């Protein structure tokens, strides 16, 4: 509670200081008026206009009240009646992977023309000699096959002959989404010492042209391919390339009305944020989470929960307890319906070198991190994983005493019937990604059955239990499914519980739908609360950071099916217009 008071004090000092010298100095830097503003502030839920000065809201209210603060230097934007909300806060992104993914992927590519266009695009921004990696082709075929009415699509395989000349100075090794095939251009084959006219390597099957036996570039044999290229393909990317990837990803974030993210990336990414902040190029606030077993690294620097500052927040950790639904490795009390010998698995910090569960081992990490004053967030998907984690939290209360931990149950995907009532007393924040449900609902019941699905992505029950929901995207997703950062997808999923194509008509377990107002709150205020920042952001109120999004449609009035068509018109971060739709 100290921090917010401190920042408010600063504003008041600033106002007083400027007020003494020159009354006109109180004029706003920026005024947005004639809008339909949904503030997510219960004291004053709607407004027409806001005034911003030094990165903070200094007035929120009617056009008349707010326009009175305009001075000669004030930029005034007429919102033309459009709908505005606090800037979206995405509580779950993997920024570095997303930045890499955005640079080059052919996940949704269905034709050779699109493939060539993507390759042209990526090399236009790359110094010669840089490797092109990633790819994940075929994921779209898989994706489409699971959606209604998209059967019979020809599987796409990149034809390397189309891009070989184009990429003669850019070695390229890309893969199919499921690692069942790889594609290398001639530059990559030659870098690995392979003669394209007589391709041979242990454990690798090369596809060859019928007419002359020349390698087409398509290879199978994942281990063989890995061995062949492991010494050839550089580890990671150059710092310059990562900065370029980061800038590109920041652009995508601005375009989506997102003003804060909670990230889980490597420390080089954190370094890049700091560099871009120096140059004024950071356009999103970041809550940066370290891995749980690195708790001592933060402790050694004296960083505690809610540490850092409003641009780069530090002091929280992320651990994993079980696997994921996508690979049927999430941990359940009972086996999977489609795989009766499998009830999922525990992750690294739960087990010994042999993979055997070690009682108390994970709890020790939690106790240590918690004693160091750090915020803990843990990935839990299956019902047993969520249950066990709640047991650990009870143990934390007993051993370290109760405190305002804001423990984030990351994913909280399938919760056992008796565990819902345990969420609120433990102060749990369910950090969920509603878009997952629009994808997973296709096969959830097949895998865990109807009964267990009642507790799956059960947002309404979580909310009614008194626990808090905080939304995010899980951008960029897995190698088989893209989770875009666009908050409209998450809002749509939470409100409709339908696939992107509107199936099933009544929604999947429709009792678990929540209102658009609750969904917006989970993407703004609650998400700010999740990083101990609700006093400085997450709603549009005087004194708070001026982060907001202006949208093309009034989300509270349109039919939920139209949420997906909503575009961002303006994104404002720290009082600065960082995106304006052309
Ligand atoms: Zn994730």
Check: CB of residue 433 under 8 Å from CB of residue 469.
Answer: no
Q: What's the 93 CA to ligand 1 centre distance in angstroms?
A: 6
Determine the pLDDT at residue 480: 79
Q: Which residues partner with 78 through β-bridges? A: 33
Q: What's the 412 CA to ligand 1 centre distance in angstroms?
A: 12
Neighbours of 579 (CB within 10 A): 20
- Report pLDDT digits (tens) over 393-410: 999 999 999 999 999 999
C-alpha–C-alpha distance, residues 196 and 164, integer Å: 12
Q: What's the 432 CA to ligand 1 centre distance in angstroms?
A: 10
Q: What's the 186 CA to ligand 1 centre distance in angstroms?
A: 35
Determine the pLDDT at residue 153: 61
Q: Which has the closest alpha carbon to 250: 222, 232, 275?
A: 275
Q: What's the 474 CA to ligand 1 centre distance in angstroms?
A: 5
Integer-rounded Cα Rg, in Å, for the chain is: 25
Q: What's the 196 CA to ligand 1 centre distance in angstroms?
A: 39
Q: What's the 8 CA to ligand 1 centre distance in angstroms?
A: 34
Check: CB of residue 77 under 8 Å from CB of residue 30.
Answer: yes
Q: What's the 330 CA to ligand 1 centre distance in angstroms?
A: 14
User: How many whole angstroms from its chain centre is CA 16?
Assistant: 40
C-alpha–C-alpha distance, residues 344 and 331, integer Å: 4
Determine the pLDDT at residue 3: 41
Instruction: Specify the DSSP element, H or E, that contains 120.
Output: helix 112-124
Q: What's the 293 CA to ligand 1 centre distance in angstroms?
A: 17
Determine the pLDDT at residue 19: 36
Check: CB of residue 185 under 8 Å from CB of residue 196.
Answer: no
Q: Which has the closest alpha carbon to 244: 133, 134, 124?
A: 124
Q: What's the 143 CA to ligand 1 centre distance in angstroms?
A: 19
- Report pLDDT digits (tens) over 517-551: 999 999 999 999 999 999 999 999 999 999 999 99
Q: What's the 480 CA to ligand 1 centre distance in angstroms?
A: 14
Cα torsion at 414, 415, 416, 417 (round to 10°)?
A: -120
In this structure, are strands 307-308 and 548-551 parallel, antiparallel, or unpaired?
unpaired
- Beta strand extents in 94-246 (DSSP E only): 135-137, 173-176, 182-184, 205-208, 215-220
Q: What's the 91 CA to ligand 1 centre distance in angstroms?
A: 10
Give the three-state DSSP class for 388: helix
Q: What is the DSSP string of 71-116?
A: -TT-EEEE-TT-EEEEPEEEEEE-HHHHHHHHHSB-TT--SHHHHH
Q: What's the 184 CA to ligand 1 centre distance in angstroms?
A: 29
Q: What's the 96 CA to ligand 1 centre distance in angstroms?
A: 12
C-alpha–C-alpha distance, residues 540 and 567, integer Å: 20
Determine the pLDDT at residue 23: 38
C-alpha–C-alpha distance, residues 294 and 307, integer Å: 16
Determine the pLDDT at residue 152: 53
The per-residue b/e assignment along 344-359, b for 16 or more CB within 10 angstroms, e otherwise, is bbbbebbeeeeeeeee
- Beta strand extents in 415-506 (DSSP E only): 429-432, 468-471
Q: What's the 484 CA to ligand 1 centre distance in angstroms?
A: 12
Determine the pLDDT at residue 580: 98
Peptide bond into 26 cis (omega under 30): no
Q: What's the 314 CA to ligand 1 centre distance in angstroms?
A: 18
- Mean pLDDT, contiguous 10-residue spans, the chain (582 residues): 41 41 66 98 98 98 97 97 98 97 92 95 93 90 51 79 95 94 97 96 96 96 96 94 97 98 97 97 97 94 93 97 92 97 96 93 97 97 98 97 96 98 97 93 94 98 98 92 95 96 94 98 98 98 98 98 97 98 94
Q: What's the 504 CA to ligand 1 centre distance in angstroms?
A: 26
Determine the pLDDT at residue 9: 42
Ramachandran class of 317: left when φ > 0, alpha when ψ lies in -120 to 50, beta otherwise: beta
Q: What's the 191 CA to ligand 1 centre distance in angstroms?
A: 34
């Amino acid at each position: 509670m100290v921090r917010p008071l401190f920042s408010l004090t600063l504003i008041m000092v600033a106002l007083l200081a400027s007020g003494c010298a020159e009354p006109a100095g109180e004029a706003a830097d920026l005024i947005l008026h004639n809008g339909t503003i949904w503030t997510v502030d219960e004291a004053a839920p709607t407004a027409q206009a806001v005034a911003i000065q030094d990165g903070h809201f200094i007035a929120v209210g009617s056009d008349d009240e707010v326009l009175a603060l305009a001075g000669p230097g004030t930029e005034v934007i007429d919102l033309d009646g459009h709908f505005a909300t606090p800037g979206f806060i995405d509580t779950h992104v993997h920024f570095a992977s997303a930045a890499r993914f955005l640079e080059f992927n052919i996940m949704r590519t269905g034709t050779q023309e699109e493939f060539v266009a993507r390759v042209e695009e990526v090399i236009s921004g790359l110094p010669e000699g840089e490797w092109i990696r990633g790819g994940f082709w075929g994921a779209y075929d898989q994706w489409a096959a699971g959606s209604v009415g998209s059967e019979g699509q020809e599987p796409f395989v990149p034809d390397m002959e189309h891009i070989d000349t184009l990429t003669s100075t850019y070695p390229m090794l890309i893969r199919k989404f499921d690692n069942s095939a790889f594609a290398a251009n001639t530059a990559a084959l030659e870098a690995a010492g392979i003669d394209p006219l007589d391709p041979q390597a242990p454990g690798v099957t090369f596809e060859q042209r019928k007419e002359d036996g020349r390698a087409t570039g398509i290879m199978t044999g994942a281990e063989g391919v890995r061995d062949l290229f492991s010494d050839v393909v550089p580890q990671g990317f150059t710092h310059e390339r990562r900065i370029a990837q980061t800038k590109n990803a920041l652009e995508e974030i601005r375009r989506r009305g997102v003003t804060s993210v909670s990230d889980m990336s490597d420390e080089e990414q954190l370094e890049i944020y700091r560099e871009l902040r120096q140059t004024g190029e950071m356009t999103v606030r970041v809550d940066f989470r370290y891995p749980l077993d690195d708790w001592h690294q933060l402790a050694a620097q004296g960083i505690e929960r809610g540490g850092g500052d409003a641009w780069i927040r530090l002091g929280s950790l992320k651990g994993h307890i079980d696997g994921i639904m996508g690979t049927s490795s999430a941990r359940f009390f009972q086996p999977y319906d489609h795989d009766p010998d499998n009830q999922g698995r525990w992750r690294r910090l739960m087990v010994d070198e042999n993979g055997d569960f070690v009682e108390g081992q994970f709890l020790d990490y939690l106790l240590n991190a918690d004693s160091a004053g750090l915020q803990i967030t843990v990935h839990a998907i299956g019902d047993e994983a969520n249950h066990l984690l709640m047991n650990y939290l009870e143990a934390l209360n007993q051993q370290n005493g109760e405190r305002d931990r804001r423990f984030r149950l990351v994913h909280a995907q399938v919760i056992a019937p008796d565990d819902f009532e345990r969420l609120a007393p433990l102060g749990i924040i369910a950090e969920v990604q509603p878009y997952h449900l629009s994808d997973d609902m296709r096969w959830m019941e097949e895998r865990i059955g109807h009964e267990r699905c009642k507790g799956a992505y059960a947002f309404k029950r979580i909310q009614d239990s008194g626990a808090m929901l905080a939304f995010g995207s899980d951008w960029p997703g897995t190698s088989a499914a893209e989770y875009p950062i666009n908050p409209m997808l998450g809002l749509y999923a939470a409100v409709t519980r339908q696939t992107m194509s509107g199936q099933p008509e009544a929604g999947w377990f429709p009792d678990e739908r929540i209102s658009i107002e609750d969904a917006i709150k989970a993407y703004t205020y609650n998400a700010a609360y999740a990083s101990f920042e609700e006093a400085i952001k997450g709603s549009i109120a005087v004194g708070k950071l001026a982060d907001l999004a202006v949208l093309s449609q009034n989300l509270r009035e349109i039919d939920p099916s139209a949420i997906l068509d909503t575009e961002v018109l303006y994104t404002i971060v720290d009082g600065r217009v960082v995106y304006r739709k052309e």
